[in-house]
Amino acid sequence: MHPALSVIFFTTASGAGFALLILLGLGAPLSLLPTSQSFGLAALATAVVLAAGGLTSSAFHLGRPERAWRAFSQWRSSWLSREGVFSVLTFLPTAVFGIGWVFFGAMTGLVVLCGILAAGLAAATIYCTGMIYASLKPIHQWHNSWVVPNYFALGLASGFLVLHFLIRLWTVRPSGFALLTLIVVLTAWWIKERYWRFIDTTSGRSTVASATLLGSRGSVHMLEAPHTEENYLLKEMGFRIARKHRLRLRRVARLAGFGAPALLTLLASLLGGVVAIISAGLAVASAALGVVVERWLFFAEARHTVTLYYGAETV
């Protein structure tokens, strides 16, 4: 599948933003986070900018962005529509939660309720994002039970790393949170490795034989393509990536997305002070690069059944 940059930025940024909202909506009422109003402003603004920035970026992927509002109508059947509805709904309790926290310093009653509500809606949004991909039967690398956990894990790992960095700016020794961040990053890594193992060792049920009803005389292979030049189907669904690049990029995703952030987080929890702040900041930067590469691979490694009509024998 063609990795569109707008969609990669959208899923990674809004994944991190909505995960951060989950952590803030649940963490602040439970007094697990710094309670200062300035921290609330910085953390909520970061979450909203990431989530809303990602959503805005997704509109650039559209052929007719001016009609994007129409995408809220078909929530009964479409995961994409549901994602749109939940993402917008999330901002309503977030606004009340943010105003209560930042302007009134209140963490009681309605504000707590809105925090929890925002966390729930943000989680629903991430679930819908995952399901957009996991519901597509023609793409084996997406239509499997690792995809939704993968979206949650990557979103939460990014959210934890960002929050860890922000907490460092306000609190001197938050070592408990650093360890929690470390555990989340390592869990996300494990889930990603399991996903990669799954797509490396299995393939879709459809084959060139099932796609063409042929095969009674023996193996089936493409003799001639219908057209000599690329078409939309090949540009969009027939995107191919060389094996050596794939493995190299996986190493980049492993190192930048999980290995380096885990080490830097550990370093931050051991050292403290300015070095810890810098380490936590570098962990965020490294994870951002790693997650973008991971998401690029999520598209580039996905093989659509339409390629069976263009020479692929399995997907």
Partner 1 sequence: MTSLPEPRRGPKKLGLVIDLDICVGCHACATACKEWNASGHMGPLSDFNPYGGEAWGVWFNRIHSFEEGEGEGARTIHFPKSCLHCEEPACVTVCPTGASYKRAEDGIVLVNEAICIGCKLCSWACPYGAREFDADEGVMKKCTLCIDRIYNENLAPEDRQPACVMVCPVNARHFGDLGDPRSSVSEIVARRGGGDLMPELGYKPVNKYLPPRLGRMSPSVADTVGATDADPMLPGERLLRWVDRLLSR
CB of 287 to partner 1, least distance (A): 27
What is the closest distance, in whole angstroms, from the C-beta atom of residue 13 to partner 1 in the complex? Answer: 18
Cβ(257)–Cβ(265) below 8 Å: no
* Amino acid present at 50: L
Least separation in angstroms between CB 15 and partner 1: 18
Nearer to partner 1, 63 or 109 (CB): 63
Minimal distance in Å, beta carbon 117 to partner 1? 24
Closest contact distance (angstroms) between CB of 260 and partner 1 is: 33
| 75 vs 78: CA distance, rounded Å | 5
- Nearest CB to partner 1, comparing residues 208 and 262: 208
Binding site for partner 1 (CB under 8 A): 1, 61-65, 67-68, 70-74, 76-81, 84, 132, 135-139, 205-206, 208, 210-227, 229-233, 235-237, 304-306, 309-310
> Cβ neighbours of residue 145 under 8 Å, at least 6 residues apart?
134
Instruction: Report d(CA 50, CA 188) in Å as an integer.
Output: 20
Name the minimum Å distance from CB 72 to partner 1.
Answer: 8
* Cβ proximity to partner 1, 65 vs 176, nearer residue: 65
Instruction: Tell which residue, 297, 295, 301, 296, has the closest CA to residue 15.
Output: 295
Identify whether the C-beta of residue 289 lies closer than 8 Å to the C-beta of residue 249.
Answer: no
Residue 21: CB minimum distance to partner 1, A: 22
C-beta of 224 vs 244, nearer to partner 1: 224
User: What are the residues facing 304 on neighbouring strands?
Assistant: 139
Which of 166, 159, 155 has its CA nearest to residue 34? 166
Q: What does the alpha-carbon distance between residue 111 and residue 313 come to, in Å, rounded to a whole number?
A: 56
Query: How far is residue 118's CA from residue 98's CA, in Å, rounded to a whole number?
Result: 10
Q: Which is nearer to partner 1, 198 or 309 (CB)?
A: 309
Instruction: Compare residues 37 and 78 and give the one whose CB is closer to partner 1.
Output: 78
Burial of 263 (0-12, 13-18, 19+ CB in 10 A): middle
Residue closer to partner 1 (CB basis): 230 or 243 = 230
> At its nearest, how many Å lie between partner 1 and the CB of residue 52?
18
Closer residue to partner 1, CB minimum distance, 111 or 312: 312
Residue with structure tokens 């023996």? 218
- Residue carrying structure tokens 């009134």: 104
Please report, as a single letter, which amino acid is at residue 204. G
For CA atoms 244, 250, 251, 252, the dihedral sign is positive
Give exposure, 149-172, as e/b (b: 16+ Cβ within 10 Å). Answer: bbbbbbbbbbbbbbbbbbbbebee
What is residue 29's three-state secondary structure? coil
